[in-house]
A and B are shown apart, each in its own frame.
Chain A
Amino acid sequence: MEQKEKKVIVSLNDIFVRFDGEVILNHINLDIHEKEFVTILGPSGCGKTTTLRVIGGFLEPESGDIIFDGERINGLPPHKRNVNTVFQKYSLFPHLNVFDNVAFGLKLKKLPKQEIKQKVMKMLAIVDLKGYEKRSVSKLSGGQQQRVAIARALVCDPEIILLDEPLGALDLKLRKSMQLELKEIQQQTEKTFIYVTHDQEEALTMSDRVVVMNNGVIEQIGTPEDIYNEPVNAFVADFIGEANILNGTMIDDCRVRILGKELECVDKGFGKNSPVDVVIRPEDIIIVPPENGQLTGVVESVTFKGVHYEMSIRVGKCEILVQSTRCAELNSTVGMRVIPFNIQIMNKLLPIQSNTIDAVVTYADENERYFEFELEDETVTVKDKFIPQGSKVRIYLPFDALSITGEGEGDLTDVYIESVVYKGEHNEIILESDTRKWLMLSDTDEQVATYVPLYFDFSKASFEIISPGEKEGGK
């Protein structure tokens, strides 16, 4: 849109950051325009604060360039960057009063006293703290401290203000009013704001553009409307607002099958019969009499939410969340319709039919009927199945043959939970081990960004022998 015409003030090119061998930012590319309010949104541990620290100069990336106003500023210390930060815990100087906190940066610039005073007073008026100059910062409320921190950064007149979850510590009501105030301040001062938060509502409310991050990569960049209406994948859809995310199959262009029914949609180019994720926002489902519905289901619960009712409707094994101003009767059968435009089709996060392992049998015992193979430097034992030593075998593990709870250390001791997406029936969990990814189904909510053991249930697996082992290779 019109942002295209605006000048790029800062750009991150291929930024790579690693701590203790763990990748925090995985080749990030991001352009931020002048006078823009950009929000970096993501769950904790996604790398959003790290991105901010790279721009602020508190962290040197391992590789990649930071371009500020056309100049490469890698290695430039924070005090030489024309950027100021509003820190998460405010970080006001406890030994200075409100005035001296705000004046801190100006005094370092050696401006004349009169000018400092004038600027500080003007800024305190903008953040609505007139008359508080002499107060000790420790005697201020959270919201007031927050405003001092904002004034302290703004008064230095930087090109960019970085805000690291600045409203995180405030209560809901104060947070809401500060959101509006911040947006107002940004428009009034015409600065570029780069704002970090894990609160999707905050991001949608304030931003010109939202950058959704997960696991050190940018998932999507777009206006709040784009991000909400056109999420690029199940992660974004799940993270932003509430959504029904369902497994579907593209029958043809503009035809998708979900929950056993074919529906019309507007997306093309996914290929015939390819598995996809389908997103339907709860407010886009219209309740109709059963005979008029594209889908029918039974109302399992109804909750009054003030503006609307929230209903859980069971279709087969799946529960669908519906928000409507009209209430359907509990336990009644209802029909549901969705207009094609409101059905979002997305590529699957991990487009696989089953988890396959290509293995070479390292040891086998015909009498005891078991064999072993090596996987990522760990030895995995398959019981009740004999395949001769040296054989090359492809093992197909269905999604429900994987589990992260069980006895012992696990077949793989340490896998990373990369994402958890609820698919109406159960959670689809993407796990990452040293060399690859796995897809697992689970009925329990697992904690993302944690490490867990992984167990295989080979009784559900199927085996395909690629090349048989040598007979004398046995024993």
Chain B
Amino acid sequence: MKSKKLSIPYIAWMVIFTMIPIVMIGITAFKDKSGNFSLEAFSKAFGYTGVFMKSLWIALISTVICLVLAYPLAYLLTKMKSSTQRVVQMLIMVPMWMNFLLRIYAWKILLQKNGPLDMALSLLGIHGTYINNTGAVVVGMVYEYLPFMVLPIFTVMSKIDGQLIEAAQDLGSNNITVLRKVIFPLSIPGVISGITMVFVPTASTFLVAEQLGGKDDTMIGDVIDRIFLTDQSTGSAISLVLMVFILVFLILMNLFGDEEAIA
């Protein structure tokens, strides 16, 4: 009984700030400008299929790169002395203390024509454009979301009982087989939450693509940002479609996670 009473504020919070807004977006998405029921907004939303695909593509690449970078880093972190571990963890976190906008502008300056990167590479005789393309967007995304991949993997990995590793060695595993047969399978929950925490925000984020990408690199977050003030219905419809994509993705990830837990 007591626990039920305690949960009332949270339930109220969820209803007011989660349930009601979703319902309102749902209603808005099915209205036309004069307020009548209409599927017009959805037909407009499907005009952005290319942008959807691009967003999911960028999110996927960014997530994969984050995973490839974060997994060894998390593994190395667990091997460090706890004092060094704290310092490295700090260094991973520090960029997140800086404002999101500033971080993106910093990348813009770094990558721009005659910017530091361009200048440095020019000295070596390499010329090229490093901004306003998909690559720059991915770089920005990876930079933004890498900590969200490292930390959950590290957390799960550092909880693996050291004696399990000793047991594996005892049964004939060298360091590589220990990693492959014990550490990796046991760290999968961390990998899954890392993927979720990177993929979902990268797919829906705005500004990164607008600032670092080229003409073709518009992402769905930017579209919503741009049209919502003038056309709430279409903005809501796009949000709903995005939400469905993300839900499907989450369900798939969870299914995968459960299977791993059983196997």
Contact = CB atoms under 8 A, between A and B. Distances in A.
Nearest to A107: B181
B64 interface: no
A77 B161 contact: no
B263 A108 contact: no
Nearest to B160: A94
Contact of B163 (A77, A87, A95): A87
B172 A156 contact: yes
A111 to B, nearest CB: 11
A87 B186 CA distance: 19
Contacts of A153: 170-171
B84 interface: no
Interface string A88-103: 1101111100000000
Contacts of B161: 89, 91
A93 B263 CA distance: 11
B49 interface: no
A109 interface: yes
B173 A108 contact: yes
Interface string B130-163: 0000000000000000000000000000000101
Nearest to A95: B185
Interface size class of A (residues with CB under 8 A): 20 to 34
Nearest to B167: A91
A93 B173 contact: no
A85 interface: yes
B172 A109 contact: yes
A61 interface: no
Interface residues of B, number: 21
A105 B177 CA distance: 11
A93 B169 contact: no
Contacts of A453: none
Given A104-B181, A108-B177, A91 B166 contact: yes
A313 B43 CA distance: 99
Given A93-B182, A95-B185, A95-B260, A104 B166 contact: no
B164 interface: yes
A84 B263 contact: no
A314 interface: no
Contacts of A92: 167
Contacts of A95: 185-186, 260-261, 263
Most-contacted residue by chain B among A77, A108, A109, A136 (CB, 10 A): A108
B172 A105 contact: yes
B230 interface: no
A181 to B, nearest CB: 21
B130 to A, nearest CB: 43
Most-contacted residue by chain A among B168, B170, B262, B263 (CB, 10 A): B170
7 tightest Cβ-Cβ pairs between the two chains A and B: A105-B171, A91-B167, A108-B172, A78-B169, A91-B163, A95-B185, A85-B170
25 contacts: A58-B169, A78-B169, A78-B170, A79-B169, A79-B170, A79-B171, A79-B174, A83-B170, A84-B171, A85-B170, A87-B166, A88-B163, A89-B161, A91-B164, A93-B167, A95-B260, A95-B263, A104-B168, A105-B171, A108-B171, A108-B173, A108-B181, A152-B171, A153-B170, A156-B171
Given A87-B167, A91-B164, A152-B171, 19 more contacts: A58-B169, A78-B169, A78-B170, A79-B172, A79-B174, A84-B170, A87-B163, A87-B166, A88-B163, A89-B163, A91-B163, A91-B166, A92-B167, A93-B164, A93-B168, A94-B186, A108-B181, A153-B170, A153-B171
